[in-house]
A and B are shown apart, each in its own frame.
Chain A
Amino acid sequence: MEGIKMSSSKSIMSTHIFSTDHKTIGKQFLFLGIFFLLFGGFQAMLIRWQLAYPEQPVPWWLFGSIVNGEAGMITPDVYNQLFTMHGTIMIFWAITPLLIGAFGNFVIPLQIGAKDMAFPTLNMLSFWTFFLSGVVLLVSYFLPLGVASGGWTSYPPLSLPAGGIPGLGQAFWTLSITLMGVATMMGAINYVITVIRLRAPGMTYFRMPLSVWGLWLASILNVIFVPVIAAGLIMLLTDQLLGTQFFLAGRLAAGGGGDPLLFQHVFWIFGHPEVYILILPVWGIVSELLSVFSRKPAFGAKITVICMSTIVVLSSVVWGHHMYTTGMSPLLGKTFMFLTLLISIPSSIFFFNWLATLWRGSLHFDPPMLHTMAVIWVFAIGGLTGLYNATVTADIYLHDTMFVVGHFHYTMAASVLFGGYAAIAYWYPRMFGRMLNPLLSKIHFWGTFISINLVFFNMMATGYAGQHRRLYNPGEFEFLKPLADINIFITISAFILGAFQILFLYNFIHSMVKGKVAENNPWKSNTLEWTMDYPIAHGNFSTAPQVVNGPHEYSNPNVKDADWVCQTVKIGNES
């Protein structure tokens, strides 16, 4: 639509498909992310079905006989493939494009007053490389022996041919993630440089909205740590395809061999920052939105930024807490535990700032705000339960149990999902010029909020009761038999959760066509992305905006007749 208006001579190819406009690329990432979110979510439903009703035919409404052949039963190898691909897709192809891809692209240039990304062509290449990596991943579903089934961590030797997983699925997995890393890298370089170089005049670092801060810090982590996993994956790939033995040892390695633990180290040196790469944009968006919908400046915004940066630094030295049970040396275990627990300090401080932003505010419970407050709730649970896993002794018991699964779903799935929904609801008017239906949004919110807690809290409970991860059938063990009821309960909650996401999808698509046409600044927000008319032309700003305020001047007593003031408007009484 916008392309035709802008210049009719340009073809659909250059305005909608191979566009270099950051807004179009952001939308492309958003659609791709939602597609993979649904795909990964569907796999989660199948996993839950198997855990609650082991070895019973999958019902028609989960496409049982289509997915699993005539009998409709999930076999152990299919089950392993399901949870492997669920984790992989959700982390790398759903959350990453949804937050960093979509909102990094859409929001960063608009909020800092830039015309586009620093390298628009690179940006487009980033999306298409990402798309290609997704295609490689999906192609592996058509391999005769199936997709990867070594878990999303893909520890060797299991993930090597010697480990017993047949076919090329694992190699496709490695290859697609390497490609995804290249795409992420291109995007991350772009975001980092854009923020450093293309800020509008007057947009100092501390006048940047906090959502930009979150996305920017995540991109910095990406630039540093994606090459690390790329190195590990290249080594894994040569092990899988060319017969090197970097990560083989023991009997499987004829004549020599390497060390499987090396892969775990490399994986988690990247893997732990990756957790923060996923959550940092959410922290930024939450800090920003709380301020907008409380009509009050973000409390201690500078301190929040400093805390987030501290966590970025700390996140790169705590990878060992994923490996307490590998038999690491006592000194290392203690060091990693100490460093990990240190993260509780900055997190508690910005948490405190979030709550203080609400304090004495004027809270408007629009859909974005509901999702934002849900992030406070779920991230509080997720963050606090991290304490168990950071503690060496408690982790010896809880490692590799459903407790860990519940914990990281609270931090990574629930928080990121709500953060993503908040961001979609908030920027939807800017992206599509229309509002999401508020009633449907609220129904979707409450359904999601209640069911997601029932799912993940009870997952932690089953883990506390001893149920270990990645079990095809928990009923094999006597000590897990009493948990059958809880597992059924989780599964039913998960189905409800899934059903509510279909409601969201309906709302998302329907509102794009039939939604209420949005005003230019429906949330009365200060930041620059709300200053222009919809649709926003390629190039965003006709003249470079001159920024004179911080992003959070809500309810400033010097502003007459309004509780907000755009970042480019000088505040009243000084003149």
Chain B
Amino acid sequence: MKKIIKTMTGGIWLVDPPKDISLNGYRIDNVIQYTDFVITLYFGIVVVSLIFFIWRYNARKHPHAVYDLGNTKKHRYLTVAMGLLVFFSIDVVIESMAFKDLKEAFWKFPKGEDVVRIEIMPQQYAWNIRYPGDDDIFGTNDDIVPPQNILHIPVNTPIVVQLTTYDVIHSFYLPNFRYKQDATPGMVTAMWFQAKETGDYEFACAELCGNSHFKMKGFLTVESKDEFDNWIVAQEPEVTDDDDDWGFEEEDEGVPTKWGWQWKELK
């Protein structure tokens, strides 16, 4: 069955999505594929009947229409049947797939020792990224803040990202992970993902954030755990002058400093 669905709808969009390198991306691809299948089916029915009606019932061939108000009991049953068919073939299936995925993957945040936690604060038009450093606490002097737009993650490790923004709304968009999450001022949002292949990829801002929105590009490097550890050691901890006064600086311009916030516990 799956194979039939695949061959039937494999190419309805004529293009391939970006390579999926995430643990859970296949779930989204599956939902999309099932939807491809049902919409091809239903659209096929519409098109076939349109063509048939045009061929069979055009005025030249069929000069006298049949008077049919479509309000008999039979028609009402047919209507109800139609509704039920759509409900069960589309709504119920897609919903159960999506709810299952949300419960098992996207809204089930990983916990434990090996989780890599990252704070990301986009600004117009760059990505600020922060790792907790040795003490595993954000907002301290040993936080690792790599150069802007550079994000390294270890492969086969769950990554939990918390987002907020320096100025306007941005959206952290990972095409290769089939995922995006808005970063909204005044609130911290969270997402998680896990890579299953190493390599260099891109991430982007998906929410309009100003004139250079299109240039808001980040570079994602997925590497092995060892490489990642080496890389993070090579990064200089953030240089700071005083220990208090964490939080947002009242600066008007320039790269914000010391912007880390306390990790919000996830429910």
Binds A, one of B1-9, B181-189, B228-236, B238-246: B181-189
B43 touches A381 (CB 8 A): yes
Distance (whole angstroms) from the CB of B10 to the closest CB of chain A? 13
Distance (whole angstroms) from the CB of B21 to the closest CB of chain A? 12
Instruction: Report chain B residues within 8 Å CB of A80.
Output: 208, 210-211, 213
Instruction: Report chain B residues within 8 Å CB of A394.
Output: 28, 31-32, 35, 98
Q: 1/0 contact trace for A454-482 toward B, CB 8 Å?
A: 00001011101110111111101111000
| Residue of B whose beta carbon sits closest to that of A362 | B65
Indicate whether A241 reaches chain B with its CB closer than 8 angstroms.
no
Binds B, one of A292-300, A501-509, A540-548: A292-300
| A327-B35 contact, Cβ under 8 Å, with A76-B211, A464-B15, A465-B18 | no
What CA separation (Å) do A531 and B70 show in the bound complex? Answer: 27
| A352-B67 contact, Cβ under 8 Å, with A338-B95, A391-B35 | no
A349 touches B42 (CB 8 A): no
B57 touches A461 (CB 8 A): no
| Residue of B whose beta carbon sits closest to that of A254 | B250
Complex interface residues of chain A between 296 and 343 (CB less than 8 A to chain B): 296-303, 325-327, 330, 333-334, 337-338, 341-342
What CA separation (Å) do A330 and B87 show in the bound complex? Answer: 22
Indicate whether A164 reaches chain B with its CB closer than 8 angstroms.
yes
B202 touches A477 (CB 8 A): yes
Instruction: Report chain A residues within 8 Å CB of B75.
Output: 299-300, 303
Complex interface residues of chain B between 59 and 80 (CB less than 8 A to chain A): 59, 62-71, 75-76, 78-79
Instruction: Report chain B residues within 8 Å CB of A300.
Output: 69-71, 75, 79
What CA separation (Å) do A472 and B217 show in the bound complex? Answer: 13
Indicate whether B175 reaches chain A with its CB closer than 8 angstroms.
yes
B182 touches A362 (CB 8 A): no
Distance (whole angstroms) from the CB of B74 to the closest CB of chain A? 11
Binds A, one of B100-108, B110-118, B146-154: B100-108
Residue among A355, A387, A458, A471 having the largest count of chain B Cβ atoms under 10 Å = A387
Complex interface residues of chain B between 117 and 133 (CB less than 8 A to chain A): 124
Indicate whether B23 reaches chain A with its CB closer than 8 angstroms.
no
What CA separation (Å) do A258 and B202 show in the bound complex? Answer: 33
| A363-B215 contact, Cβ under 8 Å, with A163-B167, A380-B46 | no
| A393-B27 contact, Cβ under 8 Å, with A363-B59, A380-B43 | yes
Indicate whether B144 reaches chain A with its CB closer than 8 angstroms.
no
Binds B, one of A18-26, A124-132, A148-156, A189-197: A148-156
| A345-B87 contact, Cβ under 8 Å, with A252-B185, A355-B53, A393-B101 | yes
| Residue of B whose beta carbon sits closest to that of A398 | B32
B175 touches A466 (CB 8 A): yes
Residue among B65, B166, B182 having the largest count of chain A Cβ atoms under 10 Å = B65
| Residue of B whose beta carbon sits closest to that of A387 | B35
Q: 1/0 contact trace for B192-229 toward A, CB 8 Å?
A: 00000000011010111111111101000000000000
What CA separation (Å) do A296 and B67 show in the bound complex? Answer: 6
| Residue of B whose beta carbon sits closest to that of A397 | B178
A157 touches B68 (CB 8 A): no
A356 touches B65 (CB 8 A): no
| A363-B54 contact, Cβ under 8 Å, with A392-B102, A393-B31, A483-B15 | yes
B98 touches A391 (CB 8 A): yes
Indicate whether B135 reaches chain A with its CB closer than 8 angstroms.
no
Complex interface residues of chain B between 18 and 70 (CB less than 8 A to chain A): 18, 27-28, 31-32, 35, 38-39, 42-43, 46-47, 49-50, 53-54, 57-59, 62-70
Complex interface residues of chain A between 249 and 306 (CB less than 8 A to chain B): 249-254, 257-261, 294-303
| Residue of A whose beta carbon sits closest to that of B200 | A478
Residue among A297, A380, A394, A555 having the largest count of chain B Cβ atoms under 10 Å = A394
A399 touches B28 (CB 8 A): no
Instruction: Report chain B residues within 8 Å CB of A360.
Output: 57, 62, 65-66, 68
| Residue of A whose beta carbon sits closest to that of B45 | A355
What CA separation (Å) do A298 and B71 show in the bound complex? Answer: 10
Indicate whether A400 reaches chain B with its CB closer than 8 angstroms.
yes
Distance (whole angstroms) from the CB of A169 to the closest CB of chain B? 13
A396 touches B180 (CB 8 A): yes
Complex interface residues of chain A between 378 and 422 (CB less than 8 A to chain B): 380-381, 384-385, 387-388, 391-394, 396-397, 399-401
What CA separation (Å) do A399 and B206 show in the bound complex? Answer: 8
Indicate whether A85 reaches chain B with its CB closer than 8 angstroms.
no
B209 touches A158 (CB 8 A): yes
Distance (whole angstroms) from the CB of B15 to the closest CB of chain A? 4
| Residue of B whose beta carbon sits closest to that of A250 | B185
Which secondary structure dominates chain B's binding surface? mixed
B53 touches A165 (CB 8 A): no
Indicate whether B141 reaches chain A with its CB closer than 8 angstroms.
no
**B65 contact from A296, A301, A460, A476, Cβ within 8 A:** A296
**B168 contact from A157, A363, A376, Cβ within 8 A:** A157
A376 touches B214 (CB 8 A): no
| A325-B180 contact, Cβ under 8 Å, with A363-B59, A477-B202 | yes
Indicate whether A248 reaches chain B with its CB closer than 8 angstroms.
yes
Distance (whole angstroms) from the CB of A527 to the closest CB of chain B? 16
Indicate whether B255 reaches chain A with its CB closer than 8 angstroms.
no
Indicate whether A56 reaches chain B with its CB closer than 8 angstroms.
no
B54 touches A260 (CB 8 A): no
Indicate whether A364 reaches chain B with its CB closer than 8 angstroms.
yes
What CA separation (Å) do A357 and B210 show in the bound complex? Answer: 49
B175 touches A479 (CB 8 A): yes
Instruction: Report chain B residues within 8 Å CB of A295.
Output: 59, 65
Indicate whether B169 reaches chain A with its CB closer than 8 angstroms.
yes
B187 touches A327 (CB 8 A): yes
Distance (whole angstroms) from the CB of B209 to the closest CB of chain A? 6
Indicate whether A35 reaches chain B with its CB closer than 8 angstroms.
no
Distance (whole angstroms) from the CB of A80 to the closest CB of chain B? 6
| Residue of B whose beta carbon sits closest to that of A468 | B206
Indicate whether B137 reaches chain A with its CB closer than 8 angstroms.
no
| A251-B167 contact, Cβ under 8 Å, with A300-B70, A352-B82, A392-B98 | yes
Indicate whether A515 reaches chain B with its CB closer than 8 angstroms.
no
A325 touches B210 (CB 8 A): no
What CA separation (Å) do A111 and B250 show in the bound complex? Answer: 63
Distance (whole angstroms) from the CB of B151 to the closest CB of chain A? 15
B186 touches A376 (CB 8 A): no
Indicate whether A486 reaches chain B with its CB closer than 8 angstroms.
yes
7 contacts between A and B (CB under 8 A): A164-B211, A297-B68, A300-B79, A362-B65, A400-B206, A461-B13, A466-B18
List the 7 closest pairs (A to B, CB-CB), nearest first: A249-B186, A250-B185, A327-B189, A299-B70, A300-B70, A384-B39, A472-B214
| Given A257-B186, A348-B83, A400-B206: 19 more A-B contacts, CB < 8 Å | A155-B169, A250-B185, A260-B185, A297-B69, A301-B69, A303-B76, A303-B79, A344-B91, A352-B79, A373-B54, A391-B94, A394-B35, A396-B178, A399-B180, A458-B14, A473-B214, A478-B202, A479-B175, A483-B15
